[in-house]
Amino acid sequence: MSKNFNSPNFIEPLNIFNVIGTAMGLYRCHLKKYFLIALKACVWLLVPIYGWVKFYALLALISRLSFGELVNQPESVSSGERFVNSRLWDFFVNMIFMVAIGLCVGVVFKLIGGLLIGISEILISQDVTVTNRIIYRLIAIVSVIISCMGILWIGIRFYLVDVCLAVEDDVNGSSTINRSWELSKGNVGRIVLIFLIGFLITVPIQFIIKIIINIIITIISIIGLIIMPFLRENDLIFSKIFSMISFLLILGIRFVGVAFILPFLQTVKAVVYYGVRSRHEGLGLQLRNHDV
Return the pLDDT at 7: 43
**What are 173-223's pLDDT values in tens digits?**
889 999 999 998 888 888 999 989 989 998 888 888 888 878 887 887 787
User: Residue 291: what pLDDT?
Assistant: 43
Mean pLDDT throughout 27-33?
92
Q: Is residue 3 part of a domain?
A: no
Q: What is the mean pLDDT of the chain?
A: 83
User: Is there a domain that residue 9 lies in?
Assistant: no
Whether residue 189 is contained in a domain is answered as: yes
Q: Please indicate, yes or no, if residue 7 is contained in any of the structural domains.
A: no
Residue 3 has φ and ψ, to the nearest 5°, of: -115, 130
Number of domains in the chain: 1
**pLDDT value at residue 254:** 86
Backbone angles phi, psi at 49, to 5 degrees: 60, -75
DSSP, residue by residue, 179-224: HHHHHHTT-HHHHHHHHHHHHHHHHHHHHHHHHHHHHHHHHHHHHH
More confident of the two residues 117 and 48: 48
- Tell me whether residue 135 is in a domain: yes
Residue 241 within a domain = yes
- At residue 123, does pLDDT exceed 50? yes
Examine residue 239 and state whether it is found in any structural domain, yes or no: yes
Q: Is residue 278 part of a domain?
A: yes
Q: Which domain holds residue 251?
A: 14-291
